[in-house]
Structure 1
């Protein structure tokens, strides 16, 4: 049962990919979806046995590689963290598969698409169930490869090619850091198994590397490399640029990447290594500052995006920032709870956006929409539920995790005034709530409530999606409404024993009691900011108050462009500081000077010229006269004899050889 969860998506992907020509579009779609649905069933059984029954499972199949002290097995770990990720991944993936049957019905390459979805799910399951770093890295790289294939699914589009390559290259930076982390872990622990690393981490709290006379804390270095890998996958500030561009793939791909796979891998990695990160205060500090900055940046940038999917993409980036700085507060279970809740309403938002785009003939600009509430009432209702859950409206799913994270930052900042970075995260997180409410309300208004800016020919044929697309949306809407309320006590209740040692939190890092006794104004603050954001957005969109927000001063307009319109110039900065110098170096130095210069002159070009020159000299020797040939034969014979004789030989031998040559020349 445990291994079937992993095997079924792989079998579905392989048979769909290689046998799609014989199964047909419908047959391959049904087969791949059925395999993932069975995987959901087995995941729920594992959840009951491991999570509710309290029986973690370790499975070892065979040796993978053995070299000296390094021994890596094909082994799997099913504990509380793993089973939550299993349920989220398989459940969201099955709904995306079901949704894609109708959404991709007109695509001639549907079997290939379903195969890519299956392999994406399989590698993500490998990542979360691995029992050692090397096997986890296999799933990590597989997820990156599958994301490239899915983003670039419509490979005839230039934008899809560029976005897929950008996602792959940006993630390479984080993957490089994770590779160094694996090597560092082996240097410290002499093993890559989770059980060895987690159990011995306290013993290496004072372990240092000595590099050129500089002492480097071993666990902090390992934690930094792990954090570097998480930044790349989870699109934190600095390596976030690939995430909005990943919207060039089909909408089901966006839902799967943003809700259950890919971007959640980085947060999962941080949560998994909580027994190590708890002994690295500097890494926890980085998690708080980078995570809160990401939430603030993405929320501010999402306000002025006009692409429907990019608004939701920046929302994902912002929510990932909340998860990251929750981990920095050592509240790993709250972060995982928010990850689970986020999967429901973010998948709902993306798939609802897909229904809108599907009905409008692939139109994604919100300014060209409007008045869709009359044509798509079900989609409007479901998208409104997802947006309200994202805002953290009380008693919806997002309220029980997102608001609790903000309560943790507020309470800890008031009770620990020396922790300025927590106060920093508290302010940025609270402001991000306002931004989230603003762009969510703006999205609903421009898409469904504004005056229509769509062509009449499009509106004429506009209608609700079919049942296959509506069923996943309704299921996700139910989860967005009730999941947080039902499972709050199980995940983050004060007396829960659900995690059973899979998450380690040191006693002095626990802020739960403080959050429970926080003042009412702190608990109401996120809701008040959300209402303010919604009110301001509605006022700007429905009244003439927007005229007061038009900036005419050149200095302020430049500031506006820097912060908002150009997304803080991150892409421009990377292009000018990194990409352009590397391209210029590659062309002028590596290509023209080395490849076309020194290497060719010393290699193939120079060798060919030398061979041609030598052949010309040899051709002159070939005169065709027998006397010349005899001369060279005798000359070679004398040289051969000179090399054979001993170094102490008699000098008379020289005269004998000279006489032979003289007689030879005389007779010639």
Structure 2
């Protein structure tokens, strides 16, 4: 059964990809959806057997690589972390498959699309079930490949080509860091198996790499390289630029990437390597800083986005920041709980956005929408539920994890660890709550409540989505309403033993107990900030007061709005500082000076021309006259006699002189 969870999506992708021409698009849809659905059912059974019953299953199949000390076997680890990720990946993927049957109904390449979706699910399952770093890296690279294929699904569009290449190249940076982390781990532990690394990590606490006059803690270096990999996949500040552009793919792809696969891989990697991260306080501080900055940056940038899907994409980036700095606070179970909750309401938001885009003739600019609440009442209700869950409205799913992360930042134990990091997490995380509420309800106002800006032709054709598109939305809405309440005590309740030994935390952290005893005002602070963000969004969209304020502080407001709307010029800086110099070096130095210069002159256009001229010179000697040939023979005999005399009469043993004579004869 456990292997079937992984293999069924792969078989669905295999048959849909190679036999799609014979079984048809409907057959491909049914086959892939049924395979992923059965995998989701088995995942639920695995959750009961492992998560609720408190067992761990480790399956080892055949040997994969054996070379010296390096021994890699096909192994699959099913523990509490794995089964939670299986629930997230398979259930959300099943709903996305079901949704895609209707959403991609008119696309002529629906079989290929369903094949890619199942392949995406398979590689993510390989990633979360691996019991060693190399097998995990296989799933890691497969997820990147599948995301490239799906973002570039409509490959005739230039925007899709550019976005897919950008996602692939940016993730290569993170993958390079992850590969360095794998090499470093093998150098220290002489193994890539999780069981060996995690059980012996405390023995290498004082191990240092030395290079020239520098020395670096080995565990910190491994963790830093792993975090670079997580930065690429989970779109942390610096390597986040691919995530908004990935919206060029079909909307079900965006839902799958942002809710269950791809971006969750980096967070999962940090949670899985909690036994290693706990021994590096420096690395935990790095996680807190980057996570809080990412949450703040993405939340602020999302305010000024007008593309419906890009607003939700930046909200994903912001929520990933919360998950990462929760890991930096050593609250790995809270991070995984927020990841699980986030999967429900983020999939709901994206699929609801797809329903809107489907209804308004593929329009994505929110400024060209409006008044859709009367045309799409069900979609409006579901989008409102997803937005409220995202903002952390009390007793919805997001409230139980997101607010708890913010409460943990007020813990005195956390403040004692690193004052600067704790202050960053506290203030930037709290301000991000306000931004989240603002852009979420700005989306609601522009899309559903403000005056309509569409033309009459589009308005006359607007209608609710089909049953196949509506059913996944309703199921995700139920999860967004109740999952946090149901799973709260099981995942992060005081005294819960759900995680067993899958997550390791040093015993000197008292975050949870202190968070439960915080003053009531601090517990209400995230809700008050959310209400204030909703109030500001209402002022901006209902009244015209904000225009007066903007005109009063015109210079400052214009500069800030321009800066943030251009995504803080990250893409421009990367182009000017990295992309253009590398392209110029590749063309003028590598191509023109080396390939077309030195290499061609010494090879095709140099040595070959020399050989050709030399061979033509030999050809000119062949005159066909007997007297010339007799002359060459007599001269050669004379030179041979001279060499013989010098060698045996005058006893000259200089071999270089002999070679000189032979070459002289040869050229004559």
SS in 2 for 1:507: coil
- How many angstroms apart in 2 are the aligned matches of 1:401 and 1:90? 21
**CA distances 1:146-173 after superposition (whole Å, capped 9, x unpaired):** 0000000000000000000000000011
Q: Does the CA contact (< 8 Å) of 1:413 and 1:426 recur in 2?
A: no
Structure 1 residues 479 and 641, CA gap change in structure 2 (3 angstroms): farther
Per-residue CA distance 1:74-114 (angstroms, 9 max, x = gap) = 10100000000011000000100000001001110001000
Instruction: Give the Cα separation in 2 of the matches to 1:647 and 1:132.
Output: 72
Q: 1:624 & 1:124 partners in 2: Cα distance?
A: 76
Query: 1:188 — aligned with what?
Result: 188
Residue 659 (structure 2) aligns with: none
Q: Which residue of 2 aligns with 1:585?
A: 585
* Larger deviation, residues 507-516 vs 461-470: 507-516
The residue number in structure 2 matching 1:608 is 608
- What does 1:5-84 correspond to in 2, within 5 Å? 5-84=5-84
Cα distance in 2 for residues equivalent to 1:334 and 1:45 = 23
* C-alpha spacing 1:641/1:25, structure 2 compared with 1 (3 Å): farther
Q: Give 1:560 shift.
A: 1.4
Residue of structure 1 in register with 2:661 after alignment: none
* TM superposition shift of 1:387: 0.3
Contact 2:167 2:242 in 1 (8 A): yes
Q: How far apart, in 1, do the equivalents of 2:415 and 2:236 lie?
A: 28
Q: Which residue in the other structure is 2:460 paired with?
A: 460
**What residue in structure 1 maps to residue 572 of structure 2?**
572
List alignment gaps of at least 5 residues for structure 2: 653-668
Structure-1 separation of matches of 2:640 and 2:106: 82
- C-alpha distance in 2, partners of 1:581/1:567? 22
2 CA distance for matches of 1:556 and 1:574? 25
Distance 1:621 1:546, change over 3 A: same
Evaluate the alpha carbon distance shift between residue 618 and residue 468 of structure 1 in structure 2; reply closer, same or farther with a 3 A threshold: same
The answer on 1:519 being equivalent to 2:519 is yes
Per-residue deviation, residues 484-521 of structure 1 (Å, max 9, x unmatched): 00000000010110000100111123300010001101
Query: What is the distance in 1 between the residues matched to 2:154 and 2:551?
Result: 40
SS at match of 2:495: coil
After superposition, where does 1:83-482 map in structure 2 within 5 Å?
Answer: 83-412=83-412, 416=416, 419-482=419-482
SS of the residue aligned with 1:499?
Answer: coil
Provide the TM-score with structure 2 as the length reference.
0.95
* SS of the residue 2:370 aligns to: coil
The TM-score with structure 1 as length reference comes to: 0.95
Aligned pairs, number = 652
The aligned counterpart of 1:659 is: none
- 1:311-346 CA-to-partner distances (Å, cap 9, x unmatched) read 000000000000000000000000000000000000
Does residue 663 of structure 2 align to residue 649 of structure 1? no
2-structure distance, mates of 1:239, 1:629: 75
| Matched residue SS, 1:58 | strand
Instruction: Give the RMSD, CA atoms, in angstroms.
Output: 1.7
| Structure 1: gaps spanning 5 or more residues | 654-668
Deviates more, 1:538-547 or 1:433-442: 538-547
State the Cα distance separating 1:417 from its structure 2 match: 8.5
1:562 deviation in Å?
A: 5.4
Structure 2: distance between partners of 1:525 and 1:257? 31
CA separation in 2, counterparts of 1:217 and 1:646?
Answer: 72
Query: SS of the counterpart of 2:649?
Result: coil
* 2-structure distance, mates of 1:161, 1:354: 21
Aligned 8 A contact 1:12 1:32 in 2: yes
Deviations 1:601-621 (A, max 9, x none): 111111232133223322321
Q: How far apart are the structure 2 equivalents of 1:17 and 1:343?
A: 27
Contact 1:251 1:351 in 2 (8 A): yes
Residue matched to 1:664: none
Distance 1:642 1:76 in 2: 80
Q: Which deviates further from its counterpart, 557-566 or 280-289? A: 557-566
Distance 1:561 1:545, change over 3 A: closer
Post-superposition offset of 1:412: 3.4
The whole-number CA distance in structure 2 between the counterparts of 1:514 and 1:14 is: 51
Secondary structure of 2:397's aligned partner: coil
Shift of 1:215: 1.9
Q: 1:626 to 1:414 in 2, by over 3 A?
A: closer
Which secondary structure does the structure 2 equivalent of 1:576 belong to? helix
